Homo-oligomer: A and B are copies of this chain.
Amino acid sequence: MGRTNRQYRLAKRPVGLPAPSDWDYVEQPVAEPGEGQLLIEVIYLSLDPAMRGWMNEGRSYIPPVEIGAVMRAGGVGRVIASRNPQYVVGDYVSGALGVQEYHLSDGRGLTKVDPEQAPLPVYLGVLGMPGMTAYFGLLDIGRPERGQTVVVSGAAGAVGSVVGQIAKINGCRVIGIAGGERKCRLVVEELGFDACIDYKSEDVRKALHEAAPDGVDVYFDNVGGDILDAVLTRLARGARIVICGAISQYNATDQVKGPANYLSLLVNRASMTGMVVFDYAGRYPEATTELAGWLSTGKLRSLEDVVDGGVQAFPDTLLRLFNGDNTGKLVLQVGTA
């Protein structure tokens, strides 16, 4: 076919924020699919804070990306050639396509998606990993009850924006924490949270005291660091903290900042539990059905932040996750929809 595949490969393990020199930009010919394989043209790539963790060495919930390997990334694309009976040219699929323009697959781990049902970027957001994370993390681990107070950090982000909306749908009082007036306004005015604390201009601990006078029943934590510590001082008895991520710590070059106020768990008989969305893979269809229903009835809004930059914009666009620029699901457009 004579196509060229543009890729980013991991050149070395970053110290702190991923630098341009941590990537190898590679151009190579696109291979033809062999027996049982299919070729996918990548259209949208999902950029996620978790990617920073995958770049580190060492034991984690999935193996690190190997040095020299194409950087791992979720994506949606279109099948452009197939010798796999389950896929025909023109099918749209989502899966771990990698930071590249073309992905050769044996079909495993792919899911067909329907662009008529929802715009393709939504399959990387509300109907993708962030949506699944929000759904199972909040409902299975956080177990909020009607009338309880739910706090979520990274409230304008891909996961947090969905967590808060699901909590509202479940009859909770919802307080977001986000950085900056623009994000806070969005969270309250567009997403319907009851309140939002701007951690850049407010004392989170004091603001929580006002916004959640009876304490926090569920805290969904995407950020870690000082904000986790502040919320720990305001727990209600029997509170549940969901540890989903810690974006404030992912690029730390010193040791991670542990929650100094963790003894609040004891005082309040509270728990702090880690979650990894992959554990719920068998139940994704259940969540997808419910989330798609809420989307279609307008109960749930999908926020996407699509950067139309092509694959070469990957290194810079990834940094938007960590510098506070990004709102909603960050997606890099690599191909033509």
Contact = CB atoms under 8 A, between A and B. Distances in A.
A60 B267 contact: yes
B258 A262 contact: yes
A313 interface: no
A259 B265 CA distance: 13
A260 B249 CA distance: 11
Interface string A39-76: 00000000000000000000111000000000000000
Classify the interface of chain A: helix, strand, loop or mixed: loop
A259 B279 CA distance: 25
Contacts of A259: 258-259, 262
A301 to B, nearest CB: 27
Contacts of A258: 229, 257-262
Chain A interface extent, by class: 20 to 34
Interface stretch (A169-177, A269-277, A315-323): A269-277
A59 B267 contact: yes
Contacts of A236: none
A1 interface: no
A133 to B, nearest CB: 11
A245 B262 contact: no
Given A262-B272, A271-B271, 5 more contacts: A256-B262, A258-B261, A269-B273, A269-B275, A269-B276
